[in-house]
Structure 1
Amino acid sequence: MGSKNFGARVTRFEDVALVSGKGRYVDDIQIAGTLHAAFLRSPHGHARIKSIDTSAALRCEGVHAVLTAADLPERMRKQRMPLLLPNATMSTLRTQHSLAVDEVCYVGQALAIIVADNRYLAEDALAAIEVEYEVLKAVSDVRAALAAGAPRAHADLDSNVVSEFVMNYGDVDAAFASAPHVFREELWQHRGGGMAMETRGVLAQADVTTDSLTLWSSTQTPHIARRMLAEVLDVDVESIRIIAPDVGGGFGPKAIFYPEDAVVAHASRALGRPVKFIEDRREHFLCATQERDQYWNVEIAVDNDGNILGVRGDMLHDTGAFVPWGIIMPYIAGATMPGPYVVPAYRLACTVAFTNKVATTPVRGAGRPQAVFAMERLMDRVARELRLDPAELRRRNYIRPEQMPYSVGLIFRDGKPLIYDSGDYPRGHDAALDLAGYQGFPERQASARALGRFIGIGVASYVEGTGLGPFEGVTVRILPDGKVRVTSGATSQGQGTRTTLAQIVADRVGCRIEDVAVTIGDTAGIASGVGAFASRLAVNAGSSASIAGDHVRVSILKLASRALGLPESEIDLEDGKAIGRGGNRPAISFGELSRAAQGMPGFSLDAGQPVGLEHTAYFAPTQASYCSGTHVAEVEVDVGTGAVKILNYSVAHDCGNVINPMIVDGQVQGGVAHGIGNALLEWMQYDENAQPLTTTFADYLLPMATDVPTCAIAHVETPSPLNPIGVKGAGEGGTIPAAAAIIAAVENALSPFGVRFAETPLMPNRIVQALEEAGAYAQQVA
């Protein structure tokens, strides 16, 4: 692009405040007279509510209100939360009430809110509420949910099935009937959470004078939240302002609009006081949405050279007790499975079922880690059975760059045909192998085994649909002091959105990047927005920033041409000034031009003169842009304890044109850390009564710095033709194939014992169990 900032490793604007303790999160916002909320939550996975007595709680010190469903306005009491993403295959649509009405369907579901002078008093008063429950049988295992006579996750439903659909193309049966080789795998991927450093939080301030409401929320989607809150409260959407201040991690669960947010907003309106709710960590374990809970039964048909002929199978998805975001994750998983490979025929039958657990919604990767795990495990099985190098097998099956754009044959979640817009999968594959020193690994492995050490290597590749619509908007405005104000409905949870937008705009309008001020995450700043999820902001907000910046540049040149008496073609825009190229290089600052663009009171503007130096652009992509990559994990397994240490981790990542390589590196590194947790540590466990067993970080383990190596990262840039800056998403690619690569590496390390693994997370005790069953310890003794 020939730009000064786009493509540069610009230090993130956000970091100085964050690392110096000057970040401003929801709980840092202090408003005089604020009251604090706590929620009474169900201790049962499934129960009828027979009665709730709040009289004693109302008499507790410092309590201003105790609200149950019966105390809410009729609309809130009777109507369930809006379903954001309906799907025609869903036979049952079930979202939560704002507060449980007559039934609780997971541990942690809210029944009542207490608003008090402080959180401590509110918590104390919770103990005074008396609830009589009729405990019902709970559905904990999604496989058991489909059995004849299984308990119902909701007492009034005839079935636990939410949706059944088939994704397919090609003649699958013919491919398998004629295949020389067919291999089958049964796989399971865990349930876990986003586990952001900052839990959910909301502060509501009602203004009775203007009948308006302001919400500060740790949300990824302020404009969506505003729309949903207006629907729940039955108020004009324009009367609501939602601000996402600094957000300490999102990862998907903070894209959801939760019932608690609506109840806190109502409480503020009812009391005429600001009300704040900050979720504690145990509540986050119980109530923030989770993901990854899927069972796969799949098989692959290949010829004698390992070329894929077809893939088929079925997948069962645990949606939990509700479907706040519809069936997005299983749908994405089904559409993602073919990945970067030529798969001539494909069929996957998907079933989505209720259980009495908290709902599953997108967590970093959103269905793709499960799909990639399934496909890559099949590829590893083929390589093992046909005695082929796993990397060579993949190379034989990649879609070639000359086949782009490549139509997979499915419909993606955006409703458009699944067509890969660009990519060079073999090049990315080779780049990752080179970083990993793959060719020299057999020698390293042999040397390690001679010393009694067991090291292994695993490869996994993926394709991810990114940059999803419907749109994102950006306003670029030159201010009278010459600064450039950029406003967007985009949000940030640590991905450096302010910095990347400033890089784009600074280049487009011709100013210093330090003169660009970016405001994001505030519904008052721009009329419409969508938010941060699905690796979409670089494509949508970045393109909008580019378009808006170009329009403002044109306006600056027109006005400068008049002011300097020069043709536009003879003017350069540099460092916030319009500078003539000839003579004594006359110049005029952006500030002077901005003031001129406002005109003088009572005087007419010259014909054709722009009014103000600003433009708002909304970029709406025609379809998803598909990023891709290959990961290579090298691990060491302690056969005595089952502990896995990651020795080296290499990533080749294609997100199109890279706006800021340093930010992309950080996104990849963070994504890999998330993937390591998925592969080896994180598992949200429930017992047979749907009681959660891992509700603290003493039980639910996250990777520490010592568990996550510094990744070797290569950027393979194949620009997307679908947007003006040629970018694709980068936020989730570090996570998506990580579990597949790591589990393959563990298997490779333990290949002398012939153990196989078909699940994540792969805990040390499971490794030891597999080694025991394989007689590994007897072999060592012998």
Structure 2
Amino acid sequence: MGANENFAKLPHIGESYRRREDYRFLTGSGQYTDDINLPNQRYAVFVRSPHAHATIRSIDTSRAASMPGVARVFTGADMAGKVNGLPCGWLITSTDGQPMKEPPHPVLAQGKVRYVGDHVAMVVADTVAQARDAAEAVVVDYDVLPAVVDVRDAARATALHDAAPDNRCYKWAIGDKAQVDAVFAKAAHVTKLDLTNNRLIPNAIEPRSAIGAYNRATDDYTLYVANQNPHVERLLMTAFVLGLPEHKVRVIAPDVGGGFGSKIFLYAEDVALTWAAKQLNCAVKWTADRSEAFLSDAHGRDHVTHAEMAMDSQGKFLALRVHTDANLGAYLSTFATAVPTILYATLLAGQYTTPQIYVEVDAWFTNTAPVDAYRGAGRPEATYMLERLVTRCAWDMNLPQDEIRERNMITAFPYQTPVALQYDVGDYVGALHKANALADVKGFEQRRKASEAKGLRRGLGYSSYIEACGIAPSNIAGALGARAGLFECGEVRVHPTGSVTVFTGSHSHGQGHETTFAQVVAARLGIPVENVDVVHGDTGRVPFGMGTYGSRSISVGGAAIMKALDKIETKAKKIAAHLMETGEGDIEFANGEFVVKGTDKKVTFGQVALTAYVPHNYPLDKLEPGLNETAFYDPTNFTFPAGTYVCEVEVDPQTGTVKIDRFTAVDDFGTIINPMIVEGQVHGGLVQGIGQALMENCVYDKESGQLLTGSFMDYALPRADDMPSFKLDTVCTPCTHNPLGTKGCGEAGAIGSPPAVINAVLDALRPLGVKDLDMPASPARVWEAIQAAKP
């Protein structure tokens, strides 16, 4: 039995402990960045471009600078030559061997603005109201240029950057094009599909917020920021932008009210506030309002794709050929370039044994907000494309949706895909069968007839997804263009009384780390969960860490903690052996006790901890006092959560209204630490994915480049009454290469649900002649599709 299988049998593992952090959140006792106020604090407001593309002729700050309470108005000219531009964290090499085009990304615009919301100036004043009044008094003379917002028009548009005259950032590909083309030439059938993965705006409950502070006495900086990875924020800001020694900058990310990827990145505001704090010798605070967040937060998705599947006469997949145009927005955000390449194309094998795959990606600059990772980051785009295509293949071959999936599913592991990844383990057919049973697919036809009797159309949609989590290992990621390591750090500090403090480089912004990590430590050491404290989000307290994204926290962060616990056990056994006057090899540790094999002699973990700090009877010739260990964990592979989702909808053809009547999700997350937390994560992901499928859509005006969906009046987020009661279940194949057997669960719902929903809607509308429909399937769009299909 593997170590990860043993771990799953320990006390506390698989138990639904209530989240210990919820009490402070529900009672208003949390501490978010905007709750923090520092001595000698002023407030910043950013002047943002009202134009999508324009040359800046001049900026007149004289009136604003003289207004009451204004300390300073900063522009790009103040930073030129002193502050570098924002870096991109992933280098992609084009098919011609040339590096991607990487134009400068100034913190405050220099000479040109490239999207509505671009940073033009920063006003700092004694109050927010004074800063806002002064910001309105800044006069900017713009020479407006033509704008492009649709990725399909980018190649023919006015260049945004001198470094990319055709607006292309890179052309990238994976797979053997000649072999794939040869398979297509002989295939019995080819199914083709064109689709768009709509742009999304993250909209976490807590808007972005930051406070930059400077201590003249010590020459130290502190940045409080709503961020998912404070160490990465510090590294990028110090090493690449401000040129400061890391030990002089402390980044603190306190409670964070949701991120979904949008708070991973180094944003211009964070740098500007930190830099300005020294210029003014005061703390400088900024909190985005919701309208500002719509404009300035990194957006998600925005792919346009053409895909083709070659099959034999029995519906077996032979080859897949894909071309995607990816919209990167006006500038390269921190991880933007990896999303449509490494995190997208490498997942296009899905759960299927397709022997040959060729994927080509063109990435473009447009006059829109930068696009970067958003819950799922490339995997939702891959799953949506593939599962829409697989359903179209089923219809073309006159096969049931579940049958064509099962016919092509991988059943032998490990499995090497044709797009670089090797899956270690899975049970895709088992998840499909369980989903069918839980969704009562056998009763669907009866329910369809009942809907038709009411004048409604009922449809059934499938999605069998796979995702790659815990981006790893560092050497492979580096070879693929990553400019940082992708390990994690954990420190375990045992106190004299046997209680424990854990310092983790992961960061919690709603996932329940303070509970789940405590369960892991308590299970490993055989102590009560309440005796474990978890610390995160502070570069001044945590040794190092890469933060939380890509569903990596438990599989990478938790594994680092487990490695530190292994070191704790090794040292503790030496102490226990000394106390019981026996050899170290005779000691067994389980359930919080050190036992001499074959005897009833034992000491508790608490006794050993006290001995480590009160070393009166201690092997001082062999061991240092204390019981504190740190470990770094660099995974040897991704983890691969997978599952099958089944969605059932009713569509009113008179109004185009779509109602989700049933939604079933069966996932394989490997070992599950806290089922209640996992269920909550799946629920949240499902709602976000269904939101994309039915409601959410970021739209820019094609002529002016203005954001048309700049508030909740125009951008629809799902509410509780839009959702059905979800049916959830799991299968379990523990990950083979981490000590916990975990795989990650935070993004699965958002990855698997969009194609299930759209496939169900199209299944309902097929009898009406509707063959295709892009997200979101809003009532107006559905109604228009029905009308267009009428003879």
Normalised TM-score (structure 1): 0.94
Deviation of the 1:646 alpha carbon = 0.9
Residue equivalent to 2:87:
82
The 8 Å contact of residues 229 and 507 in structure 2, kept in 1 or not, is answered as: yes
Partner SS, residue 75 of structure 1: coil
Task: Say if 2:640 is the partner of 1:640.
Answer: no
Residues 210-260 of structure 1 show CA distances to partners (whole Å, capped at 9, x for unaligned) of 111111111011011001111312110111111111100011110000011
Deviation of the 1:465 alpha carbon = 0.7
Residue equivalent to 1:409:
418
Task: Say if 2:113 is the partner of 1:104.
Answer: yes
Provide the aligned C-alpha RMSD in A.
2.0
Cα 1:121–1:551 shift into 2, 3 Å: same
The 8 Å contact of residues 39 and 114 in structure 1, kept in 2 or not, is answered as: yes
**More deviation in 422-431 or 324-333?**
324-333
The 8 Å contact of residues 488 and 529 in structure 1, kept in 2 or not, is answered as: yes
Matches of residues 109-124 of structure 1 in structure 2 within 5 Å?
109-124=118-133
Residue equivalent to 1:211:
219
Task: Say if 2:101 is the partner of 1:92.
Answer: yes
Residues 462-503 of structure 1 show CA distances to partners (whole Å, capped at 9, x for unaligned) of 111111232101111111243201001110110111212111
Task: Say if 2:730 is the partner of 1:715.
Answer: yes
Residue equivalent to 2:181:
173
Partner SS, residue 259 of structure 2: coil
Matches of residues 186-265 of structure 1 in structure 2 within 5 Å?
186-231=194-239, 232-265=241-274
Mapped to 2, the partners of 1:775 and 1:758 lie a distance apart of 15
Deviation of the 1:593 alpha carbon = 3.8
In structure 1, give the amino acid aligned to 2:118.
Answer: Q
Which of 447, 452, 462 lines up with 1:449 in the alignment? Answer: 452
Residues 507-546 of structure 1 show CA distances to partners (whole Å, capped at 9, x for unaligned) of 1122111000000111122322101111111111111111
Deviation of the 1:565 alpha carbon = 4.4
Partner SS, residue 697 of structure 2: coil
Deviation of the 1:641 alpha carbon = 1.5
Matches of residues 419-434 of structure 1 in structure 2 within 5 Å?
419-434=422-437
Residue equivalent to 1:780:
none
Task: Say if 2:27 is the partner of 1:13.
Answer: no
Matches of residues 416-565 of structure 1 in structure 2 within 5 Å?
418-469=421-472, 470-565=486-581
Residue equivalent to 2:766:
751
In structure 1, give the amino acid aligned to 2:460.
Answer: I
Mapped to 2, the partners of 1:582 and 1:619 lie a distance apart of 35
Residues 413-470 of structure 1 show CA distances to partners (whole Å, capped at 9, x for unaligned) of xxxxx10111111111111111111121112112221232222110011111111232
Residue equivalent to 1:414:
none
Partner SS, residue 350 of structure 1: strand
Mapped to 2, the partners of 1:345 and 1:391 lie a distance apart of 22
Deviation of the 1:558 alpha carbon = 2.4
Normalised TM-score (structure 2): 0.93
Mapped to 2, the partners of 1:604 and 1:7 lie a distance apart of 37
The 8 Å contact of residues 182 and 301 in structure 1, kept in 2 or not, is answered as: yes
Deviation of the 1:137 alpha carbon = 0.9
Mapped to 1, the partners of 2:277 and 2:657 lie a distance apart of 50
Partner SS, residue 615 of structure 1: strand
Mapped to 2, the partners of 1:564 and 1:716 lie a distance apart of 44
The 8 Å contact of residues 151 and 327 in structure 2, kept in 1 or not, is answered as: yes
Mapped to 2, the partners of 1:96 and 1:305 lie a distance apart of 52
Cα 1:604–1:548 shift into 2, 3 Å: closer
Mapped to 1, the partners of 2:587 and 2:383 lie a distance apart of 54
Task: Say if 2:37 is the partner of 1:30.
Answer: yes
Matches of residues 256-405 of structure 1 in structure 2 within 5 Å?
256-324=265-333, 325-331=335-341, 332-400=343-411, 403-405=412-414
Deviation of the 1:553 alpha carbon = 2.2
The 8 Å contact of residues 202 and 218 in structure 1, kept in 2 or not, is answered as: yes
Count the aligned residue pairs: 761
Partner SS, residue 131 of structure 2: helix
Deviation of the 1:38 alpha carbon = 0.6
Mapped to 1, the partners of 2:103 and 2:167 lie a distance apart of 11
In structure 2, give the amino acid aligned to 1:183.
Answer: T
Partner SS, residue 734 of structure 1: helix
Residues 536-576 of structure 1 show CA distances to partners (whole Å, capped at 9, x for unaligned) of 1111111111121122123223223333546665675656x
Cα 1:546–1:279 shift into 2, 3 Å: same
Deviation of the 1:25 alpha carbon = 0.5
In structure 2, give the amino acid aligned to 1:260.
Answer: E
The 8 Å contact of residues 223 and 251 in structure 2, kept in 1 or not, is answered as: yes
Residues 294-349 of structure 1 show CA distances to partners (whole Å, capped at 9, x for unaligned) of 11111111122111111113111111111122411110222222211111121122
Cα 1:710–1:742 shift into 2, 3 Å: same
Mapped to 2, the partners of 1:9 and 1:364 lie a distance apart of 24
Deviation of the 1:32 alpha carbon = 2.4
Deviation of the 1:283 alpha carbon = 1.1
Which of 166, 169, 178 lines up with 1:162 in the alignment? Answer: 169
Mapped to 1, the partners of 2:644 and 2:104 lie a distance apart of 38
Partner SS, residue 418 of structure 2: strand
Residues 78-120 of structure 1 show CA distances to partners (whole Å, capped at 9, x for unaligned) of x321221112224310242011011100110111111111211
Cα 1:542–1:588 shift into 2, 3 Å: closer
Partner SS, residue 381 of structure 2: helix
Gaps of 5+ in 1: 412-417, 777-782
In structure 2, give the amino acid aligned to 1:295.
Answer: V
Cα 1:276–1:579 shift into 2, 3 Å: farther
Mapped to 1, the partners of 2:784 and 2:31 lie a distance apart of 47
In structure 2, give the amino acid aligned to 1:494.
Answer: G
Partner SS, residue 344 of structure 2: helix
Cα 1:605–1:599 shift into 2, 3 Å: farther
Residue equivalent to 2:3:
none
Task: Say if 2:762 is the partner of 1:765.
Answer: no
Identical positions, percent: 37
Cα 1:139–1:351 shift into 2, 3 Å: same
Mapped to 2, the partners of 1:214 and 1:130 lie a distance apart of 32
In structure 1, give the amino acid aligned to 2:659.
Answer: K
Which of 40, 50, 67 lines up with 2:57 in the alignment? Answer: 50
Which of 644, 668, 671 lines up with 2:685 in the alignment? Answer: 671
The 8 Å contact of residues 336 and 373 in structure 2, kept in 1 or not, is answered as: no
Mapped to 2, the partners of 1:344 and 1:560 lie a distance apart of 55
Residue equivalent to 1:698:
713
Partner SS, residue 327 of structure 1: helix
Partner SS, residue 263 of structure 2: helix
Which of 134, 140, 149 lines up with 1:140 in the alignment? Answer: 149
Deviation of the 1:370 alpha carbon = 1.8
Cα 1:123–1:419 shift into 2, 3 Å: same
Residue equivalent to 1:71:
78
Deviation of the 1:661 alpha carbon = 1.4
**More deviation in 216-225 or 228-237?**
228-237
Mapped to 2, the partners of 1:714 and 1:604 lie a distance apart of 50
The 8 Å contact of residues 622 and 722 in structure 1, kept in 2 or not, is answered as: yes
Cα 1:229–1:91 shift into 2, 3 Å: closer
**More deviation in 241-250 or 171-180?**
171-180
Task: Say if 2:612 is the partner of 1:597.
Answer: yes
